Amino acid sequence: MKGTASLVVTDADTALAMGSGSVVVLATPRVVALVEQATCAALAGQLPEGSTTVGMRVQLDHLQPTAVGGQVEAEAVLEKIEGRRLTFTVSASDTKGLVAAGKVTRVLVEVDRFMDKTQ
């Protein structure tokens, strides 16, 4: 299974705006959110009724900056299923090439049971 997500970088997506740095380029936390969005897209329509996945582990190298106005495309490929754990290989690229690469692990949960843990 494979999913994608895209983003045109705005001022709100920058390290300066997100408080993760002092430069006006795509923030690492925003890259993480984008690749996680791609993992969710890969699973769309594939999960049992009443189930979802939640993020468990993110291992990501943010390799190159992307300026405001730049288009970033993220891709997630499901590589491994171990019980309830789903591991994806993820990447993000812009017009200049690879921006970020790594792995994201998500866990399959029953929504009601999971939300009960917040009480």
Which CATH number goes with the domain that contains 48?
A: 3.10.129.10
Question: Which of 103, 100, 72, 68 has its CA nearest to residue 87?
Answer: 103
For residue 86, give the 3-state DSSP assignment: strand
Bridge partners, residue 23, by sequence? none
Our count of domains for the chain comes to 1
Distance CA 6, CA 9 (A): 10
For residue 112, give the 3-state DSSP assignment: helix
pTM: 0.95
Distance CA 61, CA 104 (A): 12
Distance CA 22, CA 37 (A): 25
What tens-digit pLDDT sequence spans the chain (119 residues)?
Answer: 999 999 999 999 999 999 999 999 999 999 999 999 999 999 999 999 999 999 999 999 999 999 999 999 999 999 999 999 999 999 999 999 999 999 999 999 999 999 999 99
- Tell me the residue range of the domain where 67 lies: 2-116
31 close to 60: Cβ distance less than 8 angstroms = yes
